Each structure stands twice: as C-alpha cells, then as structure tokens.
Amino acid sequence: MLLDQLEINIENKQAIIGVIGLGYVGLPVAASFAQVGFRVIGVDIKPDRVALINAGQCPIEGEEPGLAELVAGVVNDGFLHAGTSYSEIAEADVILIDVETPVDDAKRPKYVALRAACNELGLNMKQGTLVIVESTIAPGTIDNIVRPILEENSGGIAGSDFFLGACPERVMPGKLLKNLRMMSRVCGGTTPETANLMVKLYRQIVEADLDEADAVTAELVKTTENAYRDVQIAFANEVALICEAVGGDVWRVRDLVNKVPSRQMHLPGAGVGGHCIPKDPWLLAYGAGDKVPVRLIPQARTINDNMPLHLAEMAQQTLIAHGVNLPEARILVLGYAYLEESDDIRNSPSTILVNHLSQKVDQVIVHDPWVYGLQGDVTEMSSGCDAVILMVGHRLYSQLDLNAISTVMRTPIFIDGRHVIEEADAKAAGLAYRCIGKG
Ligand code: SAJ
C-alpha cells in the first residue's frame, strides 16, 4: 500500500523530494526534479550555501552550462527551497543522499557525512519514505551501514516501513546537467519493487537507460567503472616506463596497438587526479573486505600515483646531465588542474610533483591558465628557468612559442608529461626535450 501510494505520487509529481547535500551532485539533481514540477527541499550543513541557493544563486564553481539559470528559475518559482534542518524534510516522500564519501589516508571509506545524514534522516523521515543513496559507496554499504542506521533510528524495517536503494551519480564537472539527463543509471533497490519504483522516479529526469538491480550491484557498477579506468591508465603508464627503458615510443606503440580490434590502450601521462578515479578503486577494494586478496587494483593506484614522481626524476636527471646544481635550479610547472581545460585541482598530480621538487630545488613556479592566481605569460614565467615540466594537456600548451621560451630559459630543458609538444619542434627550438614514454 505504501509503495503503491508513493508510485502514484511520483507519477503525478505530488511526491515531495528531499535532497541531502547540495554540492555538485545534489544541487543539479534537486534543480532537475524541481524543473519538471516536483516540490524539492534541499538540506545542507553550510548555512551560507543554503542562503545563496534561497537567493536563487548557484554556489557551484566552474562553467556549468544552464545550472545557474535553472537554480534561479526553480527557486524563484518556489519549486526548490533549501534549509539546514532535517525537520524540513520530515514531510518528504523521497529522499536523495548526496554527501561526500572520501577515503582516509589508509584508503578506507570516510563515512562521517553519510552516517550523520542517515542518523538525522532516520530520526526525521516519515513512514513510507523512499531513501536513495546517490553518493559513490563501497559494495555492501547499503546493507551494512545505511540500512541498520535508518532502521534503528526510525524504528522501521527497510522494504516495508520505508524503502531503500542506491543509484550512484555519474556527473562530471562541466557537464553536470547534461550527464544527469543523458547518462544511464543503475537503480539498485533492496527489493525488486523498490528498484522498479526508483526507475519510475528517475524516468522523470533521465532520458538514458535506467537499469533495475539490487543495491550491491549498483554499488559494484559505479566503483568498478572507475577502477576499470584507473587500471587501464596504469597499464598505459607501465608500458610507457618500459618504452623509456628499451628505447621505444609509447605514443607510437599505443597508436599501433589500438589498430588491433578490441584494443583500447589508454593515455599514459603525468598521473591521475580528480574526485573520482583516485578514490573509487579503493571503495571497490574495501568492499571485498578480507574475503579476496585484492592485488591489481591497489597496484594500479601505486603506479598512477608514482607518475608525478617519475616526471620529477626525469627532470632531476636531465638537470644534472646539463650540469645544473639542483639546489640552485629554478623550475616552471605547466598545469595545476587535474584535467585539461578544467580549473579543478582536486588530487592533482601536479601537487605531488611540486611538493617533491620544492624539497630539492631553489624555486618551483606554477602556471595554469584555468586556475585562479596561476595565470600569466608562459614565456615570461620561463625566463631564467632551468626546466619546464608540462603536467596537464591544456590546449594553450600546444601553442607555446618554443623558440622564445628556449631563448629566455637559463637551461633550455623541457619535460613533457602529456606528449603535448612534438619532439622535432622542441629540438628545432633548441630545447633539450624529454617526454613520458619515450626512451
Ligand atoms: N587520465 C590519464 N589517461 C587517460 C585518461 C585520464 O592519465 O587515458 C588522467 C587525467 O589526466 C586525469 C585523471 O586521469 O588526471 C582522470 O581523468 P578522467 O578523464 O577519468 O576524468 P574524471 O576524473 O572527471 O572522470 C570522470 C568519471 N566520471 C564519473 O565518475 C561520473 C569517469 O568515470 C569518466 O570515465 C570520465 O569522467 C570521463 O570519461 O570523462
């Protein structure tokens, strides 16, 4: 009965939707449901973020096409309201949980925010509520953490007094609204009926496939899709190191390997950053507990995390080979964001490189056209430097005036961590050029 009534209210958009966590996942999803006519109540622990949203402003940084206008519209029309108290979502029929789920230094999930949200929600939610965790979580989290906390604090039973599932988000910075609408999603319910209801809910805002599954499958798919990418990148990086050792060119090797059907060797490079790929493999590994000796996934993480240090070693070797005294050396690092054409510096490989080199040389200067405070003229910034290390494949770096840079550098060394510069061009400009993956 509870489920049937909820289904009716979802279909006729009478269901009230609560969203816990109004960050780069929660706010776009709250605004998207509001846009199609649901009354949405958002809850966030940051009062200033809540105040901004209620003033119709979007606190998400970076370029997110359509998001600011959408937030302004749905707030102005009264479909989206934000608050800091869970009492405001006591009347909600559906609750989406979009809080951070980072890993700690020991690579274990840090569920402080998730546990707090479940504790508060359990004490406030009404009978018959559908609770969906959209945050990326380790396999087993719904069953071992979310369900027990909600049942204990609400006094109800999942599947009968309230309904519970996981539907991991697949948003990407710069494409939040587009991905929300166009990316398929796994609707993992603790019961088949719940999964079916989740599909009916998301069908209101998602145009892509919505696949019914159980909760652990939804948890596995999201963490696996990102662990898969991390392992693929690690393989490319390991082949790059082999190519350096045997005098090969990984970029040509990759092109020729990928001519073979069903080969899709990824891009080697200066490392793997961001908010997803460095974290999600650890969530997948954690889910295995001590039942399975997980070896490949941690090794891939180690390989990728070592790439910035490999770049630093390449730079140090080349500086010494050119007679530069490291403690007097001056280095320019090109790129501080974790990804090309992005201003997002979360888990950026450049951070590892800069911290390492700062212990070894006299001065490390950082440029990034997208990161506030790091913009500038690359030629001017390379003046008097002994090495330039390219860490991010920003388009700007493919248009550098290599002759001018070579002229103003004290020692014209160029280390290319993303194969942005062609070796012939670098050498024609008088640069001592080294590239990841080229022996
Ligand atoms: N990277 C490589 N080699 C590659 C691909 C990426 O070194 O072949 C590096 C990038 O430089 C970056 C890091 O890995 O430092 C992550 O790059 P990414 O392209 O995976 O971008 P992300 O971190 O934004 O990943 C997101 C993920 N999306 C979600 O979690 C919803 C990921 O699943 C997507 O595959 C990826 O976007 C994408 O395809 O754009």
78 pLDDT band (50/70/90 cuts)? very high
* Test site for ligand 1: of 229, 235, 282, 347, most ligand atoms within 8 A of the Cβ: 229
Give per-residue pLDDT as tens, 100-158. Answer: 999 999 999 999 999 999 999 999 999 999 999 999 999 999 999 999 999 999 999 99
CA of 416 to the centre of ligand 1 (A): 19
Question: Distance from the CA of 339 to the center of ligand 1, in angstroms?
Answer: 8
Counting from 1 in the atom list of ligand 1, the atom nearest the Cα of 280 is 30
Indicate whether 61 pLDDT > 80.
no
In sequence order, which residues have a C-beta less than 8 Å from that of residue 401 and are 6 or more positions away?
Answer: 379
Q: Is the pLDDT of residue 62 over 90?
A: no
Q: How would you list the strands of the sheet with 363-367, edge to edge?
A: 363-367, 330-334, 387-390, 413-416, 432-435
Query: Which residue CA neighbors atom 5 of ligand 1 most closely?
Result: 267
Asked if the model's pLDDT at residue 210 lies above 90, the reply is: yes
Please spell the DSSP secondary structure of 266-305, one letter per residue. Answer: ----S---SSSTTTHHHHHHHHHTTSS---HHHHHHHHHH
**Who's near 380: CB < 8 A, 6+ residues apart?**
408
Phi, psi of 80 (to 5 degrees): -125, 125
Atom of ligand 1 nearest to the CA of 307: 7
* Å from CA of 277 to ligand 1 middle: 7
Ligand 1 site residues, Cβ closer than 6 angstroms: 170-172, 225-226, 229, 233, 266-267, 269, 272-274, 276-277, 338-339
CA-based nearest residue to 110, from 84, 143, 145: 145
The rounded distance, in Å, linking the Cα atoms of 391 and 410 is: 21
Asked whether the beta carbons of 130 and 95 are under 8 A apart, the reply is: yes
Q: Which residues are the active-site residues?
A: 222, 276
Residue 83: pLDDT band (50, 70, 90) is: very high
Q: How confident is the model at residue 53 (pLDDT cuts 50, 70, 90)?
A: very high
Q: What is the residue-averaged pLDDT of the chain? A: 97
Of 189, 267, 188, 183, nearest to 436 (Cα)?
267
Confidence (pTM): 0.95
pLDDT band of residue 2 (cuts 50, 70, 90) is confident
